Every structure is written in C-alpha cells, then in structure tokens.
Structure 1
Amino acid sequence: MKNNIKIWLIIALGSFVAASCVGDLDVIPLDPNVAVSETVYNTTADYKEGLAKLYATFAISGQRGPDGLPDIEGIDEGFGNYLRQYWNHQELTTDEAVLSWNDATIKDFHSQTWTATDGFIAAMHSRIMYSVALSNEFIRVTADTEEEEILRFRAEARFLRALAYSHGLDLFGTMPFVTEENLPGAFFPERISREDLFAYIESELLEIRDQLGPAKFEYGRADQGVAGMLLAKLYLNAEVYVGQARYADCIAALEPVLNGPYQIADQYLHSFVADNHTSPEMIFALTYDGVETQTWGGMVYILHAQIGGTMNAIEMFGTSDAWSGLRTTSALVNKFDMDSDSRALFWTDGQSLEIDDVGIFSQGYAITKFRNRKLNGDLSDSNHNVQVDTDFPLFRLADAYLMYAEAVVRGGGGDQSQALSYVNILRERAFGDASGQITSSELTLEFILDERARELFWEGHRRTDLIRFGQFTDGDYVWPWKGNVAEGVKTSSHRDLFPVPANQLTANPNLIQNQGY
C-alpha cells in the first residue's frame, strides 16, 4: 500500500443536498451512533482521519465506496464524483477528448452547447461547495488548538478549501461564498465577485504557505510546494480572472517549486501508472487505492473509459473492464511527431483518425496514457480487477517547467535561457535524444500552447489553457465537432464561463446568472 494519507471514511457526515442554502441546527444528536465534530475529535489521530475525508471529497463519491451513500444527491453517484466532473469540464469541452456515450447532456460539453439546466454542471458546482462546507467545519473545530500537528492539518484544510474555490473561480467566475465565520444556521450565502474571490484565494495561500509541511513531507498531502503551484496557477491566469498581468508573481511563486525536491522522471509514463506515487516529478496527486478508495468516478472512469475496440484491457492496462467511451480528436494527434515523440500515446488499431460520429468509439484515436499496471509492467499492488491504484497527477514538475517558460515569454521577467532549458529537458525525454530540442526563436506562445497539449493532455488543464490563449471559443483555433459542426466552428465567448446552475439560482436569490445565459 502507498505511504500516503489514507482516505478512510470514518466520519458519518450524511448526504449534502445540492443547494446554495445552508441549513443546519447547532445541536448534538441523541443517537450515539451518529458522529459529529463534538464527539469525533478527541485525539490527533481523530483529526487526521477527519482531514482525510476532506481529501476524499476530491477523489471518491461518498461514504461507502464505490456506491451506496453519496455525498451529493440528484445525480448518479459515479457521475457526481468531483474528479470525474472536473475532468469532463476541462477536457470534453476541448480538442483533447470526446465521449461516445449518450448519458443525458454529456455530448453538449464537446459541442459547447450546454445550458444552465445541465445536470453535470450543477453537480460540479455542488461538488465545489460540498468540499468548501466540509473544510469550513474542520477549520471551525480546530480554531482553538495550539498543537503543532493539528495546526498543520488546519492549514491543509484551508488549502483544500482554496483549491475548491479556485475551481469555482475558473469554471464559474462567481460563487456563493461561505467560510468558517458563517456559523451553522439557515441563510442564503452572499455572491462573491470574481475579483474578490481571486483576492481571497491569493490571501489564503500566502497566509498558509509557511504553515504547511515542507515539500514531499508525506505523499498525497498539501505542502509548501503544492501551495506554490496553486498560487502560480492563479497568477498565470490572472489576466483572465481579474484583467491584470501577474506573470512576474507567477515566476516568484514557482521558485520554491523549481528549486524543490522534484525531478523530471526518466520515463514519461512514470506519472500515469499504478505506482506513479514513486514518480519523482509528482507534486500533488489525488490518490487512489483499489481496495481502500473505490468509486465509479475519478481514475476508474478516466482509465476504463479510454479502453475499447481492439485493446486488451488486462494485458495492457491491468484491468478487466473496457468502457469504450473516451477518445481524442485529430487536432491533438496532429500536434505530435508520431514516429519520435514518446508522449504520443495513441491507439490506432481499428480506430479512424477522423470522427464522423462522436457516438462511435472506433472513430477518433484512443488514448493509452493511464494504466493500472506498474511502470515495469507488473500488476498493481491491489490487483483489483476493476478498481485502480493509479493516482491522478493534479500538479507535476513538467507543468511547472512549462508555466515558467510561458510566464517568461509573456514578459514576466525570469531567465530566457532557463525557460528554453526547461522546455528542452521535456523534449529530450520525449524524443530520447536532442533531436526534438528547439531554439530560442522557436519558443513562442503558440509553441508553448501546443507543447502544453503534448505534455499535459488529459491532465485537466486544456480548457483553462485555451481560454488563457484566447482560443477556447471565438479564437482562430477550431477542432472537430466544436460548435457541433464536424469541421469545427467558433463559438460565443460567453462560454468561457459555465452558467450558474438554474437550481442554484432558484435556491439562492443572492446569485446572478453569468452573462450570455
């Protein structure tokens, strides 16, 4: 088993109904079998178990994996998983992924035709607020502690709340806003503007950064390196979020990461296999274990949905399931040197490059990036026939290298030669020698956007990247079935943000719909 924070589901927290109203009664239940903060937290170990549930909200779906006691209601538990929803919002809406299934409105993501009544968008919004609500409670119950380890737990909870709010900032712009200061009771949370939410997340990360553990102190937990990465992400996208260039701040936030205890793995695949917790470039991952963290979302979804057609699920991926769903478009494939770039992890046997019908799995190249076998080919430690050990790499060093290069090219200062060196380190790994290296004149913004696709595809960055480069909706770049047209067309720029879900607007009169919806 992995030496990381265990996601034990010990605390009976019950289901969180997807609504903006917070309705709690400040009482302790008479039933001794119902656990609440006043009765659960007696030892440091208790607090760590409570903290584990906060991490679990991003990885799994409920109180009893893989299904049975969901965290949120109104959607199938597997569909409602945080990572599954976040990944779909970030990837299915872009050139990097299509899905053949006919589940409700899921195809509207790739065609960019979603509406405010979309259940998947509502689930993402509710997931963010669920994670915020649980973090708030943990932060409240640790307010008076003076024990050093529990203070660190509290800082981690604040980081996880900032992480969830950062997803809200990116996906929805504005959010209902609650912190530990909003005591239990019935009220309508106030709407926070995008500018104020950006400032709040920034201030939280700056305040807690030194309170977190040193980089890599325990795998799977938020530490100073992780906080630096999220802060750098915030600054890299500041022009989109608040209309201010913060590229110099991005470089400054990256410095402790780039000088930290991370290294580029010798093999690209090391970060995407069942023992990817041993990858030296992993900065922060959502952790999975085939026995202890079971779900029908998360990495189980991403890994199994990529398998189909002529692929051998057991032999190649270490699992018995092939869900025949996810593929990619020719727009991504054409960015690669298929003969030389080791990152070109496409399955072509029985697959066509072009897509005439998104609903047919054999149309569009399949992806072989994520695997439930170890780097050396052995089966995973859990050796579960469906549930996986493969962690999801939320932040890794290759991303930091490309962020630094982009911030330098965008005029944030830094060192041009260092930026070029970082990019060429990644390309030398990809090509196996110096043949793929570029020169300083080739290090342009256009090149960086494409290189981010080559290096980071299917890791949950693409929508945000395309928006930052002005290419997600009404830019010059189109891809197959963008705008629900086979060759792709521009779409309206209001889709750079998702709508505030209609059920949230009904539940909370303080919220306002995003423009264009």
Structure 2
Amino acid sequence: MSIKRALRAVLFMVLAVGLIGCDAGVEPQSSASPETAFQDESSYRAFLGKLYGGLVLTGQDGPAGNPDLELIDEGFSQYVRAYWQLQELPTDEAVLAWGDEGIQPLNEQQWTPDNPFVEAMYNRIFFQASMANEFLRQTTEAKLNERGVAEDMRQRIQQFRAEARFLRALSYWHGVDLFGGMPIVTEEDEIGLQSPTPNTREEVFNFVEQELLDIEARLPAPGSAEYGRADQAAVWMVLSKLYLNAEVYVGEARYEDVVTYTDKIIGSGYELADEYMHNFKADNHTSPEIIFAVPQDGEQTRTFGGTTFLGHAAIGGGTMSAGTYGFGGGWWGLRTTSNVVGRYPTDSTDVDARAIFFTQGQSKEIGSLTEFTDGYALPKYQNITTEGEAGANSTFPDTDYPMFRLADAYLMYAEAVARGAGNGSMSKAVGLVNDLRERAYGDQSGTITSGELTPEFVLDERSRELIWEGHRRSDLIRSNQFTENGTWAGKGGDIDGTTTPGFRDLYPIPESQLQVNDNLEQNPGYDGS
C-alpha cells in the first residue's frame, strides 16, 4: 500500500508514542506506550507514514476536529499551507483577500511576533522534528533487540530511519530559511527535562547539510522510491536549495555546489512532463518531473490546507466556474499582482502556457487587498486530470503538492552558472532554460541566448515557471529585492507598494515561544514590534 493511501490509517501513531513533550510545546493526549504500540512490526511503517503525513494532515480525525496543534484554526495550521503563505503572500506573486487575523499583515510585510501564521509554521517545524526524533529513539539497535525484530524488518527500518532524518532536515532547512537560528532538537535530547537552547543560523545550516550528506547513500536511487517518499534526488534538491541560498544563510557563496548537485538531479532519470500543467492536476502523480510531492487524495488524505486551499482559494467571482477546475465551490481569496502579469508576453501570438490567468471580471491592478476581483485569478492547482476527469471529491482534491520538480533543478543550475560557478557550462544552462521555454511556448519563439542568461533573467524566469510553488520569497531575498528593493501592491501597507526594512528578510520568533523558553532571543528588528 502506497504512502499516499496509507496516511489516514496511521494517525494514531503520533499520540501512541507520547512524543511531543517540550520539543514542540504541545502536550501529548494519549496514555498508550511504545511497548504496546510496537508489538506489531507494521507499526514502524505506520509511524513513518505519520512522519510523511505531518506535511499534509493536521490532526487525528481528518480535515478538522482533533488537531495536532492548538491555538489556530486546524486548516490554517497545515504544513504546506503555512509554509506556502509565508513564502508567497509577502511577495509580488500572491495576495489573499480574507480578513482573518494575521493574513493582511502577511500581504503587507507588516507581521509581528504574535502573528498566528508565523507561529503555526514555527510550531509545525518542531512538531515534525519531534516526530522524527521519537521515531529514531524507538528504532535504535537496542530497542529492536529488546523487541526481537526480525532481520528483514531491521533492514527496512534502516531506510526508514534515513527517511525520518530527511524529513527532519527538510523542516530544519525551512527553519533556516524562514527564522534563521533556532534550537536543534534531536533524538539525543531527553524529553521534558529542560527548554532547548538556540543554535545559530550557521549551526542549523551545518546540521542540515551534514544530515543530508550522511543519509544520501541510505536512500533509494533516484526514481526508485515508492511515490511520495524521499529518494536520493530529493536529498540533492534540498542540498541544492541550501547551497543556492548559502550566501544569505551563512555569508558564503556555494554556487559550484549547486552545479554539482543539480547536475546529479538532471542526469538521474527524471524528465520534464510534456505539458506544463500535468504537474498541477489531479493525476500529477504520473508526471515524470515531480521529484518529491506531498500527496493528497480526495478520499484518504483530507485537509483544508495544501492543494485544497490552493485550489479553492484561487476561485471565485461571478464568471469563474469552480466546476471547470474540479471543485464544488470557490473561496474567493488568492490572486496575483500586475508585476507578475507583466512578466509574460502581451502579444497574443506569443502565448506562454504558464500564464494561467483568469481575467474576466478581474482587474489587472489591485486597488484593495481584500477585494477578490482586484488582481487576476490564478487557478493553477486543479482537481481534474490531464484527460479532463474530475477528482474523486469536489472538496478535497486528488492533486498532490509538487514540493520539488525537475524544472526547479534546471533553473538552479542556470542561476548558479549565471552567478559565476566555474564548474558549470553556459551552453548547458542556456539549453536547460530553453527546454522549459520551448515547452511553455510550444516552439522556439521564446528561446534565449547566452548573453541573455543573467541572474536577473533567471529570477524572472523562476517566477514564470515556479509561480505559486513556494519559492518566491527566498528567490527575492537572494536577489536583494524582497524588502529594501522592489515594490508591489500592498507592500509596506501602501496599496501602491513601498519598501520595508531589511530585518523582515527573517520572520520573528513567535512571542508564545519566547514566553515559555527563556533561552530564546528575538530576531533583530522585532523587539519593539
């Protein structure tokens, strides 16, 4: 049974092992013990399923009702939704019309340390780390000897342990990117004895790097893992992301390392999908391009985050039919800015397939952040298959969230070369970009030359190719255009847009965490917020 189909069946595991304690600030709610939970060897796979499920599910009862995290609407707390909002809403790529507490400050880059969405993401990172830590505690050689686990199962558990470490490293990379320094909590830390002490951004960077390098050979070869689980190419993607942003994270350019690892990905057997939109439809699990996905399923993995949110929230308006995209209704929320629209060709004879705008009844310019018809809609995530069939459920889509795909590796390679990586090939970089543009245009009308391949061009091309995939904030920061440079509708609290201070390149440590852990220090700039 695939991870995608098994997730709903394993929700009990997180509470059965009583794993949270002080790691994530959430009290366990079960009296079950590891001794009873692991009597059946299938529980190890079930627990691993919960680790993967932590990226998509929000609690023990499905979409809502018994949440992992308190203090915020359960759908709002979903991992992908929380991460996506922090990466996209403060940028030129997306605005959200709703008036829920904390949303408009994200649109405007005016958040404070008590923003509930910032808090949700911070807690999700530690929730994932806590689950991974407990899995690792429960799968040591000593524990397996105590339980008399069979040798063939022990071999599988070694791979499971590498996957748990990958998922923990993935979340800590998100932490490095969003918050900078934060406590590194591992399986070696005892639960509940003391509040964790913070680590510097460089220390967390080094931890993530070393973990990924250590587990690389312990994971399946690229393309050979069960769908929805990590393979070596997923490790290489996170390493590439880490190195691409290393100058921001630790003050050291690592572009040659980007070339090394993206080159591995490009030569690993993954292929571009024939059609761009194949990556965002209800059967995108069949796309040869997706390296690591967060699976969703209308019957098995119901959540109000992920592509449920991304699909429904992009639909609304009197002329926009939700049924066209496989949904039962729209949520009247997400749209994009004129900055994004202006990056695509305006000539009707030169159509970019990635310009998935719905314009009827929508204005190009945004006069109000809270008016859904201000700004073009962008129905990118669709609950219909490539054959036009609707997903199994009109509320909860079958569309998986493509966290990493091959096109991103192409563009990371190209950017590293454009930034001077000496071990890369300019002709190869141009060829990779042109492969993407030929798919987008259907011919060679959009191809570029080596003289056009600059970091500025790649930044714009990443927005065209990867729009609404959770990369834009990091891309803008790396290009020094997120805060002090660059403006768009709503930024800085001005509907026309204004610059913001550079300290907002990092999110604040949530106030709730500072109150319960005296060891933590607030990120610079937020002490007076």
Q: What interval of TM-score do these two structures reach, taking the shorter chain for normalisation?
A: over 0.9
Superposed displacement of residue 3, structure 1:
7.5
1:192 pairs, out of 180, 185, 199, with: 199
Describe the SS at the equivalent of 2:398.
Answer: coil
Partner of 1:148: 155
How far apart are 1:367 and its partner, in Å? 0.4
Q: 1:364 aligns with which of 367, 375, 393?
A: 375
Answering whether residue 334 of structure 2 is matched by residue 334 of structure 1, we say no
Match of 2:52 in 1: 55
Q: Structure 2 residue aligned with 1:385, among 387, 394, 416?
A: 394
Q: Which amino acid aligns with 1:267?
A: E
**Closer/same/farther in 2, CA of residues 21 and 385 from structure 1, 3 Å limit:** closer
Query: Can you list the C-alpha shifts for 1:16-60, whole angstroms capped at 9, x where unaligned?
Result: 9897676989xxx9xxx8544322224442211110100111112
Q: CA deviation at 1:310?
A: 3.4
CA contact (8 A) 1:176 1:192 kept: yes
- Give the C-alpha shift of residue 119 in structure 1: 1.4
> What do the CA deviations read for 1:402-431 (whole angstroms, capped 9, x no partner)?
000001111112111000000000000000
- Distance of 2:324 and 2:239 partners within structure 1: 37
Contact 1:23 1:184 in 2 (8 A): no
Asked if the contact 1:11/1:36 (under 8 Å) is kept, the reply is: no
Pair 1:410 & 2:419 matched: yes
- State how 1:455-470 maps to structure 2 within 5 Å: 455-470=465-480
Specify the SS of the correspondent of 1:366.
coil
How many percent of aligned residue pairs carry the same amino acid?
A: 49
Measured against aligned partners, the alpha-carbon deviations of 1:294-327 in whole angstroms (never above 9, x if no partner) come to: 1111211111000101355453111102100000
1:442 aligned to which of 452, 472, 481: 452
Aligned with residue 315 of structure 1, among 319, 323, 337: 323
For the pair 1:204 / 2:211, whether they are aligned, the reply is yes
Q: Which residue of 2 aligns with 1:512?
A: 521
1:458 partner letter: W
How far residue 4 of structure 1 moved from its aligned partner, in angstroms, is 4.6
Judge conservation of contact 2:75–2:305 (CA < 8 Å) in 1: yes
Deviation at 1:479, TM superposition (A): 1.1
Q: Contact 1:313/1:320 (CA < 8 Å) preserved in 2?
A: no
Kept in 1, the 8 Å contact 2:14–2:47? The answer is no
Residues 307/19 of structure 1: CA separation in 2 closer, same or farther (3 Å cut): farther
More moved, 53-62 vs 421-430: 53-62
Superposed CA deviations along residues 191-234 of structure 1, whole A, max 9, x for unmatched, are 01000000000000000011011112211001101001001100
Counterpart for residue 241 of structure 1: 249
Would the alpha carbon gap of residues 466 and 19 (structure 1) be closer, same or farther in structure 2, given more than 3 Å must change?
farther
State the alpha-carbon separation in 2 of the partners of residues 77 and 238 from structure 1.
Answer: 33
Q: Distance in 1 between matches of 2:236 and 2:40?
A: 30
SS at structure 2 position matched to 1:176: coil
Work out whether 1:96 is the aligned partner of 2:93.
yes
1:295 aligns with 2:316: no
Alpha-carbon deviation of 1:131?
0.5
Cα distance in 1 between the residues matched to 2:307 and 2:22:
27
Which of 156, 172, 179 is residue 179 of structure 2 equivalent to?
Answer: 172
Residue of structure 2 in register with 1:451 after alignment: 461
1:40 and 1:102, CA in 2 relative to 1: closer, same or farther beyond 3 A? same
Establish whether residue 70 from structure 1 lines up as the match of residue 71 from structure 2: no
Counterpart contact for 1:60–1:298, Cα < 8 Å: no
How much has 1:385 moved relative to structure 2? 2.2
Counterparts of 1:20 and 1:148, CA distance in 2:
29
TM-score, reference length from structure 2: 0.93
Instruction: Tell me if structure 1 keeps the 8 A contact 2:113–2:509.
Output: yes
* CA positional deviation for 1:6: 2.6
Residue aligning to 1:486: 495
Give, in whole Å, the separation in 2 of the partners of 1:355 and 1:246: 38
Residues 493 and 61 from structure 1, CA distance in 2 versus in 1: closer, same or farther, beyond 3 angstroms?
same
Letter in 1 for 2:83: Y
Aligned length: 508
What is the alpha-carbon distance in structure 2 between the residues aligned to residue 367 and residue 484 of structure 1?
Answer: 23
Mean CA deviation greater in 41-50 or 198-207: 41-50
Contact 1:265/1:280, CA 8 A, preserved across alignment = yes
Corresponding residue for residue 265 of structure 1:
273
CA distance in 2, matches of 1:96, 1:239: 24
Per mean C-alpha deviation after superposition, the further-off stretch among 404-413 and 199-208 is 404-413
SS of structure 1 residue aligned to 2:403: strand
The counterpart of 2:104, out of the listed 100, 104, 107, is: 107
In structure 2, C-alpha distance between the alignment counterparts of 1:265 and 1:45, rounded to whole Å: 35
Cα deviation, residue 252, structure 1:
1.1
Alpha-carbon offset, residue 508 of structure 1 = 0.5
